[in-house]
Copies of this chain bind each other. A is one copy, B any other.
Amino acid sequence: MKDRMTPAVRMTGHSQRGQCAKRMSILDAAADVFCRQGFAAASIDEIAAVACVSRQTIYNHYREKETLFVAVVEDVMNRANAMLFSVLSAFPDDADNLEDDLTAFVVRLNKNCICNQDGKFLRKLVQTEGERYPHLFESWRQQGPGKLTTALSALLARLAQKGALVIDDFDVAARQFVALGNADLQMLTLFGGTPTDAELEKAARNAVRTFLRAYGRPAANKSGAQPQLAAVSG
């Protein structure tokens, strides 16, 4: 009789090395192979080889291929959500140096949430297997980008209340903020490449400049930008 419960909590260092490490190794390898090959073309043998693990060990931990796939998606999603929360918690909340602060935020958002391996994996998987696994997609949609735009909407509203921005529709502005942040990187990320730090910086600066030209407080005149009249009658 296998007693899988024992090691994790009870024992300290050794058990972590044994089983938990195997599990994580399998999850990482599976994420890599699933991302590169897609679900159908990914073979358990290749995952086992990448994980440096016997195939039977995989079947021991995860009953079948689909179980492994679901576990991988949930694992990546948890990491991505934690990272997203962390990045969102550093959103600027005062009007001083708003352009620089927003630029730094966009850099962090793109670098750690959107252009990184997990973001690429989730986007790719959602597009390829989304129709086949609607529940997985729904979870990702609500906890991933859904949370992002919702949270950003509130954060932008906070800045608007302080007078730093003039926004009529916070949800629209949040979506546009994200879209502008990705505008220069979209083709690169679609290709699968990873932007350099310089590219991230430049893309973020372009995005924030345009965003502030559209939504910045009229009085706050930034370098060389033309003053805007932001009054929008219903």
Chain A interface residues toward B at CB < 8 A: 36-41, 123-124, 126-128, 130-131, 137, 141, 145-146, 166, 169, 172-173, 175-176, 178-180, 182-184, 186-187, 190-192, 206-207, 209-211, 213-215, 218, 221, 223-224, 226-230, 232-233
Contacts and interface: CB of A to CB of B under 8 A. Distances in A.
21 contacts: A36-B131, A38-B41, A38-B128, A123-B190, A124-B128, A128-B128, A130-B192, A131-B192, A146-B187, A172-B184, A172-B206, A176-B206, A176-B210, A178-B183, A180-B183, A210-B214, A210-B215, A211-B214, A213-B215, A214-B214, A218-B226
A110 to B, nearest CB: 13
A127 B190 contact: yes
A118 to B, nearest CB: 15
A184 B190 contact: no
Contacts of A230: 213
A53 to B, nearest CB: 23
A150 to B, nearest CB: 12
Contacts of A123: 127, 190
A166 B223 contact: no
